[in-house]
């Protein structure tokens, strides 16, 4: 999730660290404040920025990347599994 005040370089660093931990599927979504009692949203990312993050992650070697404002961890999960079937 992005939008809580992180810098762009921090997002890239996190994407690299997740891959180095052995992950080859990545989802990146926008934090949306569920209520006034939750942390405030600091920044909306544009669709172009989500695409830039997707391309960055794919360039690092991720096998599959979902990146967009409404993406959640289960987003297109069935397609991801089908694409990785052995």
Residue 72 confidence class, pLDDT cut points 50, 70, 90: confident
Q: Residue 35: left (phi > 0), alpha (psi -120 to 50), or beta?
A: beta
| Token pair belonging to 70 | 């409404």
Contacts of 16-21 spanning 24+ positions with Cβ under 8 A:
16/60, 19/57, 19/60, 19/61, 19/62
Average pLDDT over residues 38-57: 97
Check: CB of residue 42 under 8 Å from CB of residue 73. Answer: no
- What are the residue boundaries of the structural domains of the chain, listed by start? 8-84
- 79: exposed, middle or buried (C-beta count within 10 Å: 0-12, 13-18, 19+)? exposed
pTM as predicted: 0.83
- Tens of pLDDT, residue by residue over 13-42, are 999 999 999 999 999 999 999 999 999 999
């Amino acid at each position: 999730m992005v939008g809580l005040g992180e810098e762009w370089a921090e997002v890239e660093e996190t994407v690299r660290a997740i891959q180095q931990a052995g992950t080859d599927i990545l989802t990146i979504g926008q934090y949306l404040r569920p209520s006034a009692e939750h942390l405030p949203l600091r920044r909306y990312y544009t669709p172009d920025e989500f695409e830039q993050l997707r391309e960055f992650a794919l360039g690092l070697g991720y096998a599959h990347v979902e990146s967009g404002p409404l993406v959640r961890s289960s987003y297109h999960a069935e397609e991801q599994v089908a694409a990785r079937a052995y």
